[in-house]
Amino acid sequence: MTTSAQVTVLGLGKMGQTLARAFLAHGHPTTVWNRSPEKGDALVAAGATRAASVADAVAGADLVVVCVVDYAAARQLLEPAATALRGRTVVNLTADTPDAARSLAAWAADHGVNYLDGSIMTPTITIDTPDAVLIYSGPHDLYRRHAATLAALGGTQHHLGADPGRAAAFDVALLDFFWTAFAGMMHAFALAKAEGIDGADLVPLAEGLAALLKDSVAEHGERLDAGRYDADVATLATIAAGLEHVVAASERRGLDTSVQHAALAQLHRAIDAGHGDDDGSVVSAVLLAEREEAGSRA
């Protein structure tokens, strides 16, 4: 059992329910609120208290955890309860953009509300297990004050810095990596199937490529930080040629290639900028340079 800090959970979707259940399991008196009250029935049966309003839900709470669809929804819940929230700590585990996190943190500061932003990097089944990964940003002393309570959520928890948008920045970058790679996986299996290859036959070799991608992550980060783009394995021109073969084969089989064309366009812009003989990591640098150039023209 952890300390008996009183916790309120606002938002009882699948993740919100799981968070509330974890706090209950670790001995925290837990109050829940959701726009559709029936979503809290099982939690109430397990010992949670159901509040009639957000203001009622946060009264007496040591920690208020928000987990809803986006920050617009979070603000709709929190703003009418600003008076009740004054002096309390809100941990917002809602996914959104870094700028949205900073905006909500500024609102909280203006209303005397302590605010931590956070992101849950693993699915519901990992909560309250060693496999959970959660990240937070905001005042470090505030994170330390509530770390023992947040530990009920399990796994590995990281405080990433004082900037309230930093956790969301990590979140969107990692989601970009995962879902863009996932889109490639989905397309690859469709292409294989269109060529008469069963998914089960492709899996062993695809898993080998996934391991290769994993091994390249640390090198890519090191190269970008150091500005070192000399190619020692494959040049950008070689990578682009391979992707062109993918596009040609896919179009031959009538498959959509919009994602592949977008990726190929980025590669070609980098090649046109003189990086055809460089390592593929140079594309990240080119994207950043394009951003700076666009900003200087604005």
Instruction: Please indicate, yes or no, whether residues 124 and 23 belong to a single structural domain of this protein.
Output: yes
User: What are the DSSP calls for 232-249, one per residue?
Assistant: SS--HHHHHHHHHHHHHH
Collapse the DSSP code of 201 into the 3-class scheme (helix H, G, I; strand E, B; otherwise coil) and give the result: helix
User: pLDDT for 173-202, tens place per residue?
Assistant: 999 999 999 999 999 999 999 999 999 999
Q: pLDDT above 70 covers what percent of the chain?
A: 99
Number of compact structural domains in the chain: 2
Structure tokens at 3: 């300390």
Structure tokens at 219: 């090198």
What is the rounded radius of gyration, in angstroms, for the C-alpha atoms of the chain? 23
Please check whether residue 21 is in contact with residue 45, taking contact to mean a CB–CB distance below 8 angstroms.
Answer: no
Provide the 8-state DSSP code for 271: I
Residue 167 lies in a domain: no
Residue 122 lies in a domain: yes
How far apart are alpha carbons 105 and 144 in whole angstroms?
18
Residue 185 lies in a domain: no
Residue 168 lies in a domain: no
Confidence of residue 229 (pLDDT cuts 50, 70, 90): very high
Instruction: Please indicate, yes or no, whether residues 218 and 97 belong to a single structural domain of this protein.
Output: no
Query: How far, CA to CA in Å, does 104 sit from each of 12, 145, 160?
Result: 20, 21, 18
Structure tokens at 5: 């800090």
Instruction: Please indicate, yes or no, whether residues 273 and 146 belong to a single structural domain of this protein.
Output: no
CATH of the domain at 119: 3.40.50.720
How far apart are alpha carbons 159 and 90 in whole angstroms?
15
Query: How far, CA to CA in Å, does 40 sit from each of 13, 46, 81, 288?
Result: 9, 10, 20, 45
Domain end among 162, 178, 207: 162
Confidence of residue 297 (pLDDT cuts 50, 70, 90): confident
- In the predicted structure, residue 162 carries a pLDDT above the cut 50: yes
Please check whether residue 115 is in contact with residue 164, taking contact to mean a CB–CB distance below 8 angstroms.
Answer: yes
Q: Domain range spanning residue 241?
A: 195-297
Residue 182 lies in a domain: no
How far apart are alpha carbons 205 and 198 in whole angstroms?
12
Confidence of residue 4 (pLDDT cuts 50, 70, 90): confident
pTM of the model: 0.92
User: pLDDT for 16-71, tens place per residue?
Assistant: 999 999 999 999 999 999 999 999 999 999 999 999 999 999 999 999 999 999 99
Instruction: Please indicate, yes or no, whether residues 78 and 199 belong to a single structural domain of this protein.
Output: no
